[in-house]
Structure 1
Amino acid sequence: MRTYIALLRGLGGKYTLPMQGLAEIMLELGLRDVRTYIQSGNAIFRSDRASTGEIAEEISSAINERYGFAPRVIILTPEELREAVASNPYPEAESAPTTLHLTFLSSVPEHPDLVKLERLRQAGERFTLRGRTFYFHAPNGVGRSKLFASIERALGVPGTARNWRTVCRLLEMVDQ
């Protein structure tokens, strides 16, 4: 059995999903040892299945059947999460964990428009793309950041962002 991390995109507002409901759906799909973390759609689970794409699609479809919306689900291995943490290009930002966001992408962007993101970058903002992970440091927050709002369009692939605190907590949960 392998351990995986499921990250759901687009929860909140009119698309609410109780984490207990997510855990129940995942257990019904045959996934094991499901643990969720905060209301933003994070789950650690175990499975003997190797196709993370199929698992992600099944979770999304089951949520759609029960709750009427199909969030994008991105699944990471513990190794991918560890590598993302170890590769953080902004270690000095770790002391303010809500200013550092990692966007986990569904795939490696083939033609990312980093020039567009550079044009949208506000004073103090920094970003780095490494494989399937987009790092974004926004000392003034992401709420009004035009760059943050444009990440997926500029990269050409969907993703879901988590702040540094959440990423580190998920890694702790994986290691427990």
Structure 2
Amino acid sequence: MITHLVLLRGINVSGHNMMKMDALKTMLESIGFQNVRTYLQSGNVFVDTEEESASKVGFMIKQEIFKVFGHEVPTIVITKEDLELCFKNNPFLKEKDIDTKKLYVAFVSVILKSENINDLKISQFKPDEVSIDENRIFVKYAVGAGKTRFDQKYIEKKLNVVSTMRNWNTITNLLTMYNE
């Protein structure tokens, strides 16, 4: 069995794409996933399956959510290694006295190149800071995520990708769950 972490974008946010986690869990079990576990109400779902392909897992879940709930929900499936690399490769964690409440990670649907940082035009969002590492964009907000225009929608528009963001506390807790 392989454990996949499925990140659903934009569910249960401000009354949109509402989905009870119990109903989501039941739906996923009905299509063959095992040991389904959720974290929070915002679309963090662990599933066990024989399917190795993360893209196939994501596609199956996206299709079934549309069929059952009627929501078009972008999905990104990541591995335990992806989460471990968040800790290893996040340059902002090396800073002294870093406020982890201002750290976020955007997971994107493709591998990015370092030149993609130019496409993001991050200089217009100073003093927010960004670093790209493969399919992860590390963000350090100067004030906070609620006070910037540099968000997942902006990333998707500028880079023509699917993305979803998680705060550092969620990343930490998801890795803990992966290790249980």
TM-score, normalised with respect to structure 1: 0.91
Q: 2:90 is paired with a residue of what secondary structure?
A: coil
Deviation of 1:122 after TM superposition, in Å, equals 2.8
Deviant stretches of 4+, over 4 Å: none
Q: CA RMSD in A?
A: 1.9
Q: 2:116 is paired with a residue of what secondary structure?
A: coil
Deviation of 1:47 after TM superposition, in Å, equals 1.0
Amino acid at match of 1:120: Q
Q: 1:3 is paired with a residue of what secondary structure?
A: strand
TM-score, normalised with respect to structure 2: 0.89
| Deviation per residue, 1:46-102 (Å, 9 max, x gap) | 111112111111111111112111201110111121112221110148853331110
Paired with 1:116 and 1:106, the residues of 2 have a C-alpha distance of 16
Kept after mapping to 2: 8 A contact 1:109/1:157: no
Amino acid at match of 2:4: Y
Which residue is equivalent to 1:104? Answer: 107
Aligned residue pairs, count:
175
Q: 1:45 is paired with a residue of what secondary structure?
A: strand
Sequence identity percentage:
26
Q: 1:30 is paired with a residue of what secondary structure?
A: coil
Paired with 1:114 and 1:54, the residues of 2 have a C-alpha distance of 31
The answer to which of 79-88 and 159-168 deviates more is 79-88
Deviation of 1:23 after TM superposition, in Å, equals 1.2
Kept after mapping to 2: 8 A contact 1:7/1:75: yes
| Deviation per residue, 1:142-162 (Å, 9 max, x gap) | 123122251222222111000
> Which blocks of at least 5 consecutive residues in structure 2 are unaligned?
none
Which residue is equivalent to 2:2? Answer: 2
Instruction: Give the number of the structure with larger relative contact order, counting CA–CA contacts within 8 Å between residues 6 or more apart.
Output: 1
> Which blocks of at least 5 consecutive residues in structure 1 are unaligned?
none
Which residue is equivalent to 1:160? Answer: 164
